[in-house]
Amino acid sequence: MEGSLNLLLFLVLSSFTTGINCYTQCQLVDNFSLIVSDYLMGR
């Protein structure tokens, strides 16, 4: 029982950290596209 509980906890934590990584990467991509569009509009 304890092993399955640890496995569940591990899965939850790994999915959580993966979600955070994806979120930060999406934020970086959004910021980058905004900067590029501003640069193109500014010309």
pTM beyond cutoff 0.75: no
| b (16+ CB within 10 A) / e for 1-36 | eeeeeeeeeeeeeeeeeeeeeeeeeeeeeeeeeeee
Examine the pLDDT at 3 and tell me if it is beyond 70: yes
In the numeric block, which tokens belong to residue 8? 């569940």
Please give the residue range of the domain that contains residue 21: 1-43
**The pair of three-digit structure tokens given for residue 5, joined into one six-digit string:** 């509980």
pLDDT digits (tens, 9 = 90+) for 16-39: 999 888 889 999 999 999 999 999
**Overall domain count for the chain:** 1
